[in-house]
Amino acid sequence: MSDEMKEIEQKKATYMKHFIVDYLEHGLRKSVQQNAIQCAKNVNYFRYLNEDLSNKEQRLLDSAFEKCLGKYSDSYEHALNAFNNHM
């Protein structure tokens, strides 16, 4: 294989790595977007929209929302981090 062909193959491999990272990132965003409303409904986030909550109550509500959303997004986030570290 000539040096030019090796360089082309290396560029293709680099492109594919970045494409896969973008694909994983898109999957993460899509998962979060699709499940954000459902998680907000599950924890009654919208019920308290017009109420003044204490800092503790707001933190608990946010924590419940993030915990619900994390069920859908954590695996994607770990895959993205692992793949970035591997690159």
**What string of pLDDT tens digits covers the 87 residues of the chain?**
688 888 888 888 888 877 877 887 887 788 788 888 899 999 998 888 778 889 999 999 999 999 998 887 777 777 777 767 766
| CA-CA-CA-CA dihedral for 72, 78, 80, 85, to nearest 10 | 180
The answer to whether the pTM exceeds 0.75 is no
Position 86 scores a pLDDT of 66
Place of tokens 């981090």: 81
Average pLDDT over the chain, rounded to an integer: 83
Do 80 and 25 form a contact (C-beta atoms < 8 A)? yes
* Ranges of each domain in the chain: 29-87
Position 1 scores a pLDDT of 64
Place of tokens 């954000």: 36
